[in-house]
């Protein structure tokens, strides 16, 4: 294999074994035969990293010297998952590593198990960023991922005796971490607070405190592309170990306070993923990483230049804003251009609006970030001035276009109120070139609802890029059996970098021997999951049941409560003698979900699921027919084990609420069938795999709108469907709380009086589709056929395709020339 095609791939297994041995002896002072898995992991990481260095540096200098516009992906989150298996696959070192481990007498899986996954994200948005940097490297595009190196990532979830969620610190750095390279030479100063002073016609910011942003660099190797990009995650450090003035006043402890304050900035990831926490520290985090990243990009492309010609910046790089979290970058770039480099407003604005683009990931109005002006003014006084000026000019522009006062007030970046707020989505829309949603339906709703006024006036700004996932991690690494079968069926593994090739499997859906092999793959994956769940959670799962999974953050709009109510209804029907358990298709219903620590309703739902599991799993009357499992601490590792083993995937959000979903894509690519509403990317999955191979149910966006406007009364649905009534009554009467009727009071009250996301209205349709699913499942070969057709038609959902869409429609760039 060509070295440039796959960095590292010329290394033999024996050579790799020698390098790892050497690293163990010299780097860790341990004899290979005595080394622990953790030591071998660390040594392997160091060796693999070294294999990538040359390609990394080559790519870096080609980027700076070349003429291909680079991409700067700005994201507060990267939910990476384990690095070692991915680095081995992408660099072509998988087989040599296997050999090396054999030679050294270690099991690769034990070595992989020693890695703590970097959980530097909450869910979909963070995982999307991780998929996109993988695809950017795989497509050969010069790119940076910029973000924050949180010392504590997403909390580790535990369940207490009562089934309630407990949050534990994610101590992923406790024993060090071999991938990140602290690049002290590229550290930057990031300032806060203070005031703005006028010097002649120039206004300058005189901040009153600052922190040092130290980049920790991670290599991002492309799959078989020879390109290794950089993920640069910033860590906050204090400039002074001790405040000497305070120290000299003999307040020894007080003297470290500023240091602690500075280092708090990159301490912990905020675990809320849909109700923004308007906390000062969060704004500090946002500005911290964005300011460091913009300065870093300029320093990268204009090295050593004291007065760089920044009018060329848009030809060097463009920045993608992953939701509104990095939007403070817009006024920051204006400030850099005007205050530090002397450009006038118009020139600065022209540069700024050409380098930024914004991706929106939500439809929930309460999830749109709005910062109190007062907070911005206090923390970033110069940015506040610039934001006001952007707003002033924008309003003037609207007035010149004869926009009504009423509409102007709706569109203001800074709201008109006693306590004005800055609407970050509006600032992003005005301050950049393109705005995109993350699935067709979502982008349409953005134009029709959320950003309607903007799309009416600036239609050319709006576009769609449907999300995608990396087939390397989520098919090849997570599901080696299916990958081997696909390669056998297609005659090569070229599908891994050209996922539309999966289409070639469609013909094999009617080949009985291929169908048999597909069934065997799923069976073996289920057996693996059973063993994993036994080992890790102590669960006893019957592999001869349908694996029915719902894994995603816990949120009311996603409607985990619809799923659990359906389980309860089924259970109630057996208990009341209406249903013979032997007539059911045996199921194992599996949940994985973290709730934001302050989200009471979500936490109550977790408790309910755990207690339904406790009751159902211990009831001999349903044994063999129904069980419920809730493995705690859902993360990338669990996803990689569960998705390949799943047969039925639940995507049951209220229509018009899930921007895209990406789990749905991972499941379809791994041969699960989806039960879902017409929401997010479900719409596109269904239209690609065909209506016969997708279990659609429930209200559509128009039905939801109509029902809201007619006045929604959930109690009517409770009275109308005896199955629903039985299920809710069971919860209310204490069946899942040892007779205590108050445990789920909030949930029950909400269902019967509010039910904002219309779980009750969709319940009957959901129960009915589940009966159809049972019927379909009884025909195992028919089911497998549908699953194969799902795989064959899901190639579109590769993050490579998504990145190519961004390249063509938004970034206007491509592979390094």
Which residues are at the interface with ligand 26Q (CB under 6 A)? 122-125, 128, 270, 272-274, 276-277, 282, 325, 361, 369, 438, 467, 658-662, 680
Which of 421, 476, 522, 552 is an active site residue? 552
- Side-chain half-sphere CA neighbours of 154 within 13 A: 30
472 is catalytic: no
Q: Is 246 exposed, middle or buried (0-12, 13-18, 19+ CB in 10 A)?
A: middle
Nearer residue to ligand 26Q within complex by CB, 382 or 555: 555
Q: Are 191 and 179 in contact (CB under 8 A)?
A: no
- Side-chain half-sphere CA neighbours of 320 within 13 A: 29
Nearer residue to ligand 26Q within complex by CB, 62 or 464: 464
Q: Are 45 and 128 in contact (CB under 8 A)?
A: no
**Euclidean distance between CA atoms 634 and 64, whole angstroms:** 40
Q: Are 721 and 761 in contact (CB under 8 A)?
A: no
Nearest alpha-carbon partner for 747 in 539, 561, 576, 487:
561
Q: Which residue is nearest to ligand 26Q (CB)?
A: 124
Nearer residue to ligand 26Q within complex by CB, 8 or 468: 468
563 is catalytic: no
**Euclidean distance between CA atoms 322 and 607, whole angstroms:** 32
* Complete DSSP assignment for 739-791: T-SSTTHHHHHHHHHT-TT-HHHHHHHHHHHHHHHHHHHHSHHHHHHHHHHHH
Nearer residue to ligand 26Q within complex by CB, 325 or 473: 325
Strand partners, 228: 221
Nearest alpha-carbon partner for 547 in 591, 609, 589:
589
Q: How far is the CB of 131 from ligand 26Q (least distance, A)?
A: 9
Which of 335, 361, 555, 688 is an active site residue? 361
Tokens standing for 322? 């992953």
Nearer residue to ligand 26Q within complex by CB, 468 or 644: 468
**Euclidean distance between CA atoms 637 and 634, whole angstroms:** 8
463 is catalytic: no
Q: Are 465 and 492 in contact (CB under 8 A)?
A: no
- Side-chain half-sphere CA neighbours of 616 within 13 A: 31
CB atoms within 10 A of CB 770: 21
Nearer residue to ligand 26Q within complex by CB, 119 or 680: 680
Q: How far is the CB of 151 from ligand 26Q (least distance, A)?
A: 17
CB atoms within 10 A of CB 162: 12
Q: How far is the CB of 15 from ligand 26Q (least distance, A)?
A: 41
Nearer residue to ligand 26Q within complex by CB, 108 or 276: 276
Residue the block writes with tokens 């010329």: 10
741 is catalytic: no
Q: How far is the CB of 135 from ligand 26Q (least distance, A)?
A: 14
Nearest alpha-carbon partner for 21 in 32, 33, 34, 8:
32
Q: How far is the CB of 177 from ligand 26Q (least distance, A)?
A: 23
Nearer residue to ligand 26Q within complex by CB, 222 or 437: 437
Nearer residue to ligand 26Q within complex by CB, 115 or 658: 658
Q: Are 649 and 663 in contact (CB under 8 A)?
A: yes
The sign one gets for the Cα dihedral 467, 470, 476, 479 is: negative
- List C-alpha distances in Å: 754 to 170, 603, 708, 732, 757: 35, 18, 11, 16, 9
Residue the block writes with tokens 């939910």: 79
Strand partners, 65: none
553 is catalytic: yes
* Complete DSSP assignment for 338-365: IIIT---HHHHHHHHHHHEEEE-----G
Nearest alpha-carbon partner for 132 in 479, 465, 554, 501:
465
* Complete DSSP assignment for 114-133: TPPP-EES-SHHHHHHHHHH
Exposure string for 76-109, b = 16+ CB within 10 A, e = fewer: bbbbbbbbbbbbbbbbbbbebbebbbebbebebe
Nearer residue to ligand 26Q within complex by CB, 697 or 797: 797
- Side-chain half-sphere CA neighbours of 7 within 13 A: 28
- DSSP 8-state assignment for residue 155: P
The total number of residues shown for the chain amounts to: 817
Which of 282, 442, 526, 558 is an active site residue? 558
Q: How far is the CB of 618 from ligand 26Q (least distance, A)?
A: 35
Which of 230, 605, 662, 759 is an active site residue? 662
Radius of gyration of the CA atoms of the chain, in A: 27
Q: How far is the CB of 80 from ligand 26Q (least distance, A)?
A: 15
Nearer residue to ligand 26Q within complex by CB, 435 or 546: 435
Residue 492: helix, strand or coil by DSSP?
A: coil
Residue the block writes with tokens 């602690």: 260
Q: How far is the CB of 59 from ligand 26Q (least distance, A)?
A: 27
666 is catalytic: yes
Q: How far is the CB of 670 from ligand 26Q (least distance, A)?
A: 17
Nearer residue to ligand 26Q within complex by CB, 140 or 663: 663
Nearer residue to ligand 26Q within complex by CB, 257 or 600: 600
Residues designated catalytic: 361, 552-553, 558, 662, 666
């Amino acid at each position: 294999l060509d070295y440039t095609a796959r960095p590292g791939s010329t290394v033999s297994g024996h050579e790799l074994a020698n390098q790892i041995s050497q690293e163990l002896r010299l780097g860790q002072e341990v004899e290979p035969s005595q080394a622990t898995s953790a030591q071998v992991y660390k040594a392997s990481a160091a060796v693999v990293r070294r294999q990538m260095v040359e390609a990394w540096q080559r790519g870096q200098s080609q980027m700076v010297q070349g003429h291909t516009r680079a991409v700067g992906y700005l994201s507060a989150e990267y939910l990476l998952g384990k690095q070692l298996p991915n680095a081995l696959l992408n660099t072509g070192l998988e087989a040599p590593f296997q050999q090396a481990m054999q030679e050294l007498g270690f099991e690769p899986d034990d070595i992989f198990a020693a890695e703590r996954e970097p959980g530097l994200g909450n869910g979909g948005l963070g995982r999307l960023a991780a998929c996109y940097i993988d695809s950017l490297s795989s497509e050969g595009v010069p790119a940076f991922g910029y973000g924050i190196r949180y010392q504590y990532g997403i909390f580790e979830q535990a369940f207490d005796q009562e089934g309630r969620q407990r949050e534990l610190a994610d101590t992923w750095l406790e024993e060090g971490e071999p991938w990140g390279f602290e690049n002290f030479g590229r550290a930057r100063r990031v300032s806060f607070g203070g005031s703005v002073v006028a010097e002649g016609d120039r206004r300058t910011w005189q901040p009153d405190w600052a922190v040092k942003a130290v980049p920790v660099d991670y290599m991002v190797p492309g799959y078989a592309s020879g390109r290794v990009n950089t993920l640069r995650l910033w860590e906050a450090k204090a400039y002074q170990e001790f405040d000497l003035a305070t120290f000299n006043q003999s307040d020894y402890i007080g003297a470290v306070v500023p240091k602690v304050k500075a280092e708090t900035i990159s301490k912990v990831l905020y675990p809320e993923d849909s109700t923004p926490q308007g906390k000062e520290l969060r704004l500090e985090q946002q500005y911290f990483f964005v300011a460091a990243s913009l300065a870093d990009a300029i320093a990268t492309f204009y090295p050593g230049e004291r007065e760089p010609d920044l009018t060329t910046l848009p030809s060097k790089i463009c920045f993608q804003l992953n939701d509104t979290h990095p939007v403070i970058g817009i006024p920051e770039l204006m400030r850099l251009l005007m205050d530090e480099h002397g450009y006038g407003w118009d020139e600065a604005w022209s540069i700024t609006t050409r380098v930024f683009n914004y991706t929106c990931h939500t439809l929930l109005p309460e999830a749109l970030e709005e910062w109190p002006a007062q907070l911005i003014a206090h923390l970033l006084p110069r940015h506040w001035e610039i934001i006001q000026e952007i707003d002033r000019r924008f309003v003037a522009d609207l007035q010149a276009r004869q926009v009504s006062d009423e509409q102007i007030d709706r569109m203001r970046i800074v709201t008109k109120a006693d306590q004005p707020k800055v609407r970050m989505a509006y600032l992003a829309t005005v301050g950049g070139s393109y705005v995109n949603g993350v699935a067709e339906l979502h982008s349409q709703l953005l134009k029709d609802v959320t950003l309607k006024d903007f799309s009416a006036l600036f239609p050319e700004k709006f576009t769609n890029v449907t999300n995608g996932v990396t087939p390397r991690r989520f098919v090849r690494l997570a599901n080696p059996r299916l990958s081997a079968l696909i390669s056998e069926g297609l005659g090569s593994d070229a599908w891994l970098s050209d996922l539309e090739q999966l289409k070639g499997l469609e013909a094999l859906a009617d080949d009985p021997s291929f169908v048999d092999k597909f069934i065997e793959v799923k069976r073996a994956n289920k057996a693996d999951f059973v063993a994993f769940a036994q080992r890790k959670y102590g669960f006893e799962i019957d592999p001869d049941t349908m694996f029915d999974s719902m894994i995603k953050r816990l949120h009311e709009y996603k409607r985990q409560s619809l799923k659990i109510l359906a389980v309860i209804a089924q259970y109630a029907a057996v208990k009341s003698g209406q249903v013979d358990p032997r007539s059911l298709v045996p199921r194992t219903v599996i949940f994985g979900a973290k709730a934001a620590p302050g989200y009471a309703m979500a936490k109550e739902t977790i408790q309910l699921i755990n207690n339904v599991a406790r009751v159902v799993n211990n009831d001999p009357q349903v044994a063999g027919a129904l069980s419920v499992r809730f493995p705690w601490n859902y993360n990338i590792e669990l996803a990689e084990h569960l998705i390949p083993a799943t047969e039925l995937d639940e995507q049951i959000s209220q229509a018009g609420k899930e921007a895209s979903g990406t789990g749905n894509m991972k499941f379809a690519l791994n041969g699960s069938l989806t039960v879902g509403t017409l929401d997010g990317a479900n719409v596109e999955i269904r239209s690609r795999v065909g209506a016969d191979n997708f279990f659609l149910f429930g209200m559509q966006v128009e039905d939801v709108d109509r029902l809201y406007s007619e006045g929604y009364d959930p109690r009517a649905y409770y009275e109308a469907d005896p199955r629903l009534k039985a299920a809710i009554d069971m919860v209310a009467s204490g069946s899942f709380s040892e007779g205590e009727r108050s445990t789920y009071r909030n949930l029950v009250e909400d269902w019967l009086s509010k039910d904002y996301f219309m779980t009750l209205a969709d319940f009957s349709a959901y129960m009915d589709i589940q009966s159809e699913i049972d019927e379909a499942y009884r025909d195992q070969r028919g089911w497998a056929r549908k699953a194969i057709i799902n795989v064959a038609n899901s190639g579109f959902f590769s993050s490579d395709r998504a990145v190519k869409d961004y390249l063509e429609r938004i970034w206007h760039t491509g592979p390094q020339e």
